Each structure stands twice: as structure tokens, then as C-alpha cells.
Amino acid sequence: MHTDPTDLRGPSRLERCPDLPDPLEFRDGTPVESTADWRDRRAEIRQLLRQHVYGYAPGAPETEMTTERTAGVCDGAATLVETEISFADLPPDAPSITLAVFLPSDAVEAGRSVPVLLGLNWGGNHAAVDDPAVTITETAREHGGREEGAAERGVAADYWCVEHVLSRGYGFATYQSADVDPDSGDPGEGIRPYYDDELPGPPGTEWGVLAAWAWGLQRCVDALRPMDSVRAEEIIVFGHSRCGKAALLAGATDERIGLVAPHQSGTGGMALNRDNDQEGIDDITGAFPGWFADTFAAFDGQVERLPVDQHCLAALVAPRPLIDTAGARDYWTNPGRALDAVRAAEPVWELLGAEGIADDLPLYGDDEIDPETVGSICHYRRETAHTLNEGYLDAVLDFADVHFDGAR
């Protein structure tokens, strides 16, 4: 057993949330007993999440894609495929997404397809690796990090560990969140205003920034799936912190995504809103009013009235595999409440005939992700604060190795 440095690794506090909505019970109290029932309950949960939390996003638009391919990037380790995804129904000066895909050179040369880790980045695609082949986009120049101006090439190399991911036989794909929404707090910026008029929900339920970023990830999935070198069924969606919230939302609501891996996603991500003594609904909607639908803020101080919680979002991933990764010292994201969300979502995997969680969660540090015991929903921690490093990525890829077909 590990020594618990905080109370965040403690036992479940689910008993303190008697009003936690049961994912396996319809709102009218009818139990969910079969796979067919779950399809209907899944639709109900999606609807509630749109209405009360993230807002309504538009459907998949018609896209136009232009692609450029460069071999021998990352000191020869990768072929880079840069795809510009623009939207046929929008004016030419509307936002577009620059997707950078790094494919392992040996797989490309052998004509082999690979699973792909699709990560949402904050600082620009060019920050993920130090290679002049990666375009520094206009968006990156304008919003290239939390400070003014583009981040330097490769400044996030130790964060994304792209060459390590490639060495494990996975491709790495990424787009910069600011391509879709710069997170400036101004709802007039980014792609959302172009679609607001056609959203189906009532006023106040228009998509927030997190839903827009998630939609952007889904547009990247549109682009990735037809690529020869990509295994269409083996796309992992990944993101850290606010990008982890968007990654979870994207993966939960898009069944084409093969594995979902939110990292330190916290409130609005894997952490339950109920009994959450870290970032509350008031904190997050106060500091980041654009992230959610406007309706969400009304649950501040009355979270018990929220007809869903984050375990319901997680449950939408079932029966596909989900790994939630957390830092034991990352208090603000509340790993304890994220683990409780994993526990509370598990029955949905079991109903659908998938294995649930391993006996001894959380998995920790160097604990082996053992194919015999790991299950389809997992919570993994390292002894860190709010950060990403190779150890976390290895845990995600170990988990993916178990669930994907192997033969890399």
C-alpha cells in the first residue's frame, strides 16, 4: 500500500452524495436494465449535459482539407502530415484548424497503420517538437501561450514527449485550442459566433468554449480516420487540464474515438461537482464564464439540483476504454472526486458487458497496468502537482496497448 500524503487518496466519499444521479436510472425513476435501455439513457444524459452544462454544439459541418507531407522530421523519427481543416459553410476569413500529425517513420516506410494519440494543445503545434517543418500558424503567433506572442519551437517537448510516443509505435496528432477559440473571454472571438444562430437549444444553452474545443477535436477525428497510416478505430483523445475537460467531452460524445484519456481535468472534467471542496461551480464559472453554457452557473449553491454529474459524462464513454490520470499533489483538480466519478460510472461498463475497474484503484506511479486486471475504466496517479510528463503518457499508452490490438 502507498502512504497517503493527503486526504485526496482516501476512501470513497460517494456516501456523502445521496443525491448523485444514478447513470442507470432514467430521470423518471425507471431503471436501465439492458443495452437498449442504455442507448436511451445515454441520449437523455447527452441532452441534460447540453442543456445544463456544456451547451449545444453544431453537428459535423462540411469540411475542406489541404494536406502537406514532410518526411524525416524529428531527426528522422517521423513523417509530418499537416492538414488544414476549413469549413465549407463559413466565409474564407473564418477560423480553420491546423492539425499536425506525426507518424512513426518505420511504420510509414513499412506501409503499416498505427494507433494515434490525439492531444489538444495550448501553445501551438510548433511548441510540441523542435523542428522547423512544423508551421507556426497565425493563431499561434497571436495566442501562442499564456503570454503574448508565439511560444518557441519545442518549448513543450518535455511535456508532449512526441518522440517517445512515436518510439512506442503510436502516432501523435495535435491542434491548438486557439484555432477554434482563443479563450480570451470574448464570446465574439473564435468559431462559435459563426454557428450560434443554428444551434437547436433555447437561449442560454449555446455552446461554451469547452464544447467548441471538443468539436474541434472531433473535426480532427474526421481528418484522421481516412488517413492510410492511421488505425481509424484506435484514436486516443487526450488533453491536460482545461484541454482534458474538452478531451473527455469529445471522447464521451463521439463513439468513433477508441479510447478516452483526460489528464488532470478537474472540475468540468472528471471531478464530481458534488461534495467538491476544491474548484466549485462558482469558482469556475466566475473565472471562466465562457467555458460552459450560461445555464451552468445557476447550479452554484444548489448542485444537488443538477440532474447529471461528471460520472454521467464519463459513462458515455462505455463500453470503450477510459483512463483518467491525476496528480496526487494536484489538489485543485481534486483527484479524490475524479476517482469517485470513476467508481460511480463503473456500473455502466458492467451493464454493457465490459470489465469495470481494477480491484485496487488508484493505480499509482510504477504500478503495472496489467492486462489481466486493469479493466476498461481506470484511474491512475503519479506523485506530481499539475503537470504532464512521460510517466503519465506511458500509463495511457500501456492502457491503450492492453485495449488495442497490439501488433505494432
CB of residue 385 vs ligand GCU: minimum separation in angstroms? 12
Look at residue 81 and give its three-state secondary structure.
strand
Radius of gyration of the chain (CA): 20
Residue 330 sits in the site that holds ligand GCU (CB under 6 A): no
CA distances for 6 relative to 262, 334, 364, angstroms: 22, 11, 14
Site size for ligand GCU (CB under 6 A): 8
Strand order of the sheet with strand 171-176? 63-73, 78-87, 97-104, 171-176, 114-121, 230-240, 259-263, 322-327, 377-382, 363-364
State which residue, 114 or 180, has the beta carbon closest to ligand GCU: 180
Q: Give me the least distance between CB of 299 and ligand GCU, in Å please.
A: 16
Question: Which residue in the set 241, 253, 273, 334 belongs to the binding site for ligand GCU (CB under 6 A)?
Answer: 241
CB 338 within 8 A of CB 21: no
What is the Cα–Cα distance from 57 to 98, expressed in whole angstroms? 20
* CB of 240 vs ligand GCU, minimal distance in Å: 8
Nearer to ligand GCU, 168 or 242 (CB): 242
**Cα–Cα distance, 220 to 84 (Å, whole number):** 10
Q: How far is the CB of 245 from ligand GCU (least distance, A)?
A: 7
What is the nearest approach in angstroms of ligand GCU to the Cβ of residue 380? 18
- Taking residues 290 to 329 in sequence order and writing x for each that binds ligand GCU by CB under 6 A, - otherwise, the string is ----------------------------------------
Span between the terminal Cα atoms of the chain, in Å? 34
In whole angstroms, the minimum distance from the beta carbon of 268 to ligand GCU comes to 6
Angstrom distances, CA of residue 72 to CA of 92, 191, 199, 308: 32, 34, 43, 48
Q: Answer yes or no whether residue 239 interacts with ligand GCU by CB under 6 A.
A: no
Q: Are 81 and 69 in contact (CB under 8 A)?
A: yes
Q: Does position 208 bind ligand GCU by CB under 6 A?
A: no
Q: Which is nearer to ligand GCU, 240 or 320 (CB)?
A: 240
Residues 384-403 binding ligand GCU (CB under 6 A) are none
Q: Is 242 in the site for ligand GCU (CB under 6 A)?
A: yes
CB nearer ligand GCU, residue 192 or residue 242: 242
Binding to ligand GCU by CB under 6 A, coded x per residue (else -) over 91-130, reads: ----------------------------------------
Minimum CB distance to ligand GCU, residue 275 (Å): 17
- Of 140 and 358, nearer to ligand GCU (C-beta) is 140
| 169 contributes a contact to ligand GCU by CB under 6 A | no
Site for ligand GCU in 249-288 (CB under 6 A): 266-267, 279, 284, 287
Helix, strand or coil, per DSSP, at residue 64: strand
User: 183 — alpha (psi -120 to 50), left (phi > 0) or beta?
Assistant: left
CB-nearer residue toward ligand GCU: 271 or 361:
271
Any idea which residues carry the catalytic annotation?
A: 241, 386
Strand partners, 69: 81
Tell me the torsion sign for CA atoms 246, 251, 256, 258.
Answer: positive
Query: Which residues lie below 8 Å from residue 259, measured CB to CB, with a gap of 6+?
Result: 234, 235, 236, 237, 251, 320, 321, 322, 323, 399, 400, 403, 404
- Counting other chains too, the contacts that 357-362 makes at CB distance below 8 Å and 24 or more residues apart are 362/9, 362/326, 362/335
Write out the residues near ligand GCU by the rule CB under 6 A: 241-242, 266-267, 279, 284, 287, 332
